[in-house]
Amino acid sequence: MQPKLKSKVKFADREVGEVTRIIVDPFSREVSHIVVGGNGVGPVERQIPTDRIKMVTEDTVELGAASSELERFPLFRRDEYVTIREIEIAHLEDHLNVEPGEVLVPVPELERDVKRRTFFTYLTHVISVLLALPLVFPVLKFLMKPMYAPYDNRWIRVGNVSRLKKEDVGAQFKFKRKQKEAFMPETEVDKNVWVIKASPAVLDSVYKGKEMKFLDHKGDVIWVNKPTVPYIAYSGKCPHLGCGYKWRNVRKLGKELFLCPCHLSFFSVSGEVMGGPAPRPLDVLPIQVAESGDIQVIDIEYKAGVKERVRLV
């Protein structure tokens, strides 16, 4: 007969309490221990192996040992066990002829080893991600496409040099540019560049006698400004924070300059920073002038607020 929950537990000399729980060996499916609690045991519970049981009756479990041995039996720790319902061992409950109550089995080793368990959890996540990758990759590629779109190297006609009567005087040319932001439809935006008819001194100051190369997103040269072409185009955006600037007579300095009203950066006609917070000179753009005098530029945009020229568009 198997011990039952609530059965009285008697040592050789006295009764100490009752069976509060039953522990089962999940492999043999036999009761391996009883857990004893009650007045004779104190505020704790102790687990006693079934091989110390002398006899089991309908409502009593008798032990051969004396009650003085009670403290030799280990304390029962609930967190080291799970109920047989929790781990769903097939038919184990049916196999045991016990009253409904807490029938326990030891927590499997794997469950106790948290590190190992965590490792398997991570492993499962990694496998899931790898399996999902073929499905997710095309979507990610589509979403990230605008980030890796090639630069817009289209030439844009902005005006004619007939407007530039005097050397070393800034003239603003306004134009419209088609622009596409990420997944938005294409729109037309108002842009402008400043163009000068440059004197040899200004050409020298800008080009230092060298050609100026412009690159595409792969680093290939798309255009070269030659220092012999006497026209220079500057991006219409101030390299400080991207405001529009103007050509102004600065009385204090007794000359005309490019002046940005946002934070009062000012630049010489050759684009050098003469004062204010701008971190670099004005950005020179690729320019070509047709025999007809038509001016075309590539409207490159550089990152504002940094010393180096970092191309954005």
Q: Is 94 helix (H, G, I), strand (E, B) or coil?
A: helix
CB of 252 to ligand FES, least distance (A): 17
* Nearest-approach distance from CB 241 to ligand FES, in angstroms: 4
Nearest Cα residue to 81 out of 21, 6, 20:
21
CB atoms < 10 A from the CB of 244, how many? 14
> Residue 213 or 263: which CB sits closer to ligand FES?
263
Cβ 290 to ligand FES shortest distance, Å: 32
Of 227 and 271, which has the nearer Cβ to ligand FES? 271
Written as six digits, the tokens of 48 are 């006693």
* Residues in a beta bridge with 197: 231
Nearer to ligand FES, 96 or 243 (CB): 243
Minimum Å gap between C-beta 265 and ligand FES is 4
Place of tokens 């412009």: 214
The two structure tokens encoding residue 272: 């050098």
Provide the minimum distance between the beta carbon of 222 and ligand FES in the complex, in angstroms, as a whole number: 27
Nearer to ligand FES, 26 or 276 (CB): 276
Least distance (Å) between residue 148 CB and ligand FES = 28
Q: Which is nearer to ligand FES, 265 or 268 (CB)?
A: 265
DSSP alpha helices (H): ranges in the chain? 84-87, 92-95, 109-112, 114-144, 200-207
Q: Is 101 left (phi over 0), alpha (psi -120 to 50) or beta?
A: left
Interacting residues toward ligand FES by CB under 6 A? 238, 240-241, 243, 260, 262-263, 265, 276-278
CB 146 within 8 A of CB 179: no
Cα-atom radius of gyration of the chain, to the nearest Å?
44
* Residue whose CB is less far from ligand FES, 46 or 240: 240
Handedness of CA 240, 228, 288, 160 (dihedral sign): positive
DSSP 126: H
